[in-house]
Each structure stands twice: as structure tokens, then as C-alpha cells.
Chains A and B, each alone.
Chain A
Amino acid sequence: EADIYQTPRYLVIGTGKKITLECSQTMGHDKMYWYQQDPGMELHLIHYSYGVNSTEKGDLSSESTVSRIRTEHFPLTLESARPSHTSQYLCASRGLGADTQYFGPGTRLTVL
């Protein structure tokens, strides 16, 4: 069982607000990922990190930004939320030399 946490689980917010989605893992994993899951259920990689102070953009362009100041923490920020950002956001991590990614429970974001 993976120890990876996401907060909040659900968030409903108005257009223009700044939001931060939290992701933390207690496994000491160096690699962390953010995926956006659209209503059609496809997963799209939007950000990843291979360690502290390392962040890269994923395959799907996103207006969000991420930071990796501590190994265990990989927050995602939207400076100005829009209805098009409504989606489920999934965080995942993978350990050094390991093959398997483990996922958090997700944050379902609704922007009105």
C-alpha cells in the first residue's frame, strides 16, 4: 500500500481564484508526477519531477505550475482558475530504481 496523500479531495472554487493542490508522500520517492484526468477518463501527464529542485512539463500543456522544494512534497498551483481547469488531478510517485508508480486518491476540482 502506497503512502501518498492529496488534499483537498474535492474543491469547488470561483473563476479567477488562486489555488494550490497538495501532494505528499512518505516513502522517500525521488520521482513525482501530476496527471490530469479529463471527463473521458484519459490520463495526461502535466508535470513531473526527478528530485528536489527538478521540475519538467509533461505531455499535455497546462497553465499550472509546480515546485519541489522537499522530497516528500510536490504541490501544484493555478494562479487564476478557469472553468476549463475543471478536472480530476492525480499525483503519483516512484522510488529510485523502482518500476512502479503509486497514485494518490486524487483531487476533483470544479471551477465555476
Chain B
Amino acid sequence: AQSVAQPEDQVNVAEGNPLTVKCTYSVSGNPYLFWYVQYPNRGLQFLLKYITGDNLVKGSYGFEAEFNKSQTSFHLKKPSALVSDSALYFCAVRDGNGGATNKLIFGTGTLLAVQP
């Protein structure tokens, strides 16, 4: 069975500091991993994904994520946080070996608060 864990309900960081939002996953096959961001009263916006290839994936708004197979992790990072990065972040996983019918499983979300 697929699962995703986001161990932190909230991450607080000062503007200009690096940020990390953690995500670990469990799938039986090859993981397809995603990060989405949600601003208040909005839908989810796609940030980046890992399917195959380079373990370091770069996405929108200066975010990047590192796929670590041995630790089954896909942490989201940004070198220098902005106040406008404050939002709810969701990690998601799909089993790539399961075919097109496999559903996307979301983590519980992490609220990122960037203080000026």
C-alpha cells in the first residue's frame, strides 16, 4: 500500500533563511513523487515532481526537492525563504509500477510560515 508522511504540521523560518519541508513515502514499486502548494482559498498548485533521473529536482518559485531512495524521502527545499512562500505544502506519491489507474496519495500537509 502507498503512503506519505509529512511529520511536521508547521515549519517556521525567518525570511532569507533556508527552508526544508520534510516528506517520506512508502510504495511497493517505483515512486512518482510530487509537491504541491496551496495558498488560502485556492486550489493546489503543482511545484515539482520526481519520476526518474537526477535525484535533485528543480521546480517553480526557486523550490527544489531531493529524492533519496535509501531514506525513502523527498524533502522540499529552498535556499532563501520569502514571506510570500508562506502557504500549505503537500507531498504526494503514486506507485509508478501500478499503471495509469494508480491513485495519487497525499500527505497531511505542512504549513510553512515565513517571518519577515
Residues of chain A whose beta carbon lies under 8 Å from any beta carbon of chain B: 2, 6, 31, 40-43, 45, 48, 50, 58-59, 90, 92, 96-97, 99-106, 108
Contact = CB atoms under 8 A, between A and B. Distances in A.
Contacts of B103: 45, 48, 58-59
Contact of A106 (B34, B42, B90, B106): B42
A41 B109 contact: yes
Interface size, B (range):
20 to 34
Given A31-B100, A100-B46, 7 more contacts: A40-B108, A101-B34, A103-B36, A106-B41, A106-B42, A106-B43, A108-B41
Interface string B91-115: 0001000001101101011010000
Interface string B15-52: 00000000000000000101010000111111001010
Contacts of A43: 44, 90, 106, 109
Contacts of A45: 103
Contact of A103 (B44, B51, B101): B44
Contact of A105 (B42, B106, B111): B42
Contact of A100 (B34, B43, B108): B34
A50 B111 CA distance: 32
B82 interface: no
Interface of B: 32, 34, 36, 41-46, 49, 51, 88, 90, 94, 100-101, 103-104, 106, 108-109, 111
Contacts of B42: 105-106
Contacts of A105: 42-43
A99 B51 contact: yes
A101 to B, nearest CB: 6
A45 B88 CA distance: 18
A97 B100 CA distance: 7
A59 B2 CA distance: 13
A13 to B, nearest CB: 18
Contact of B46 (A31, A50, A97, A102): A102
A92 B38 CA distance: 14
A67 B58 CA distance: 37
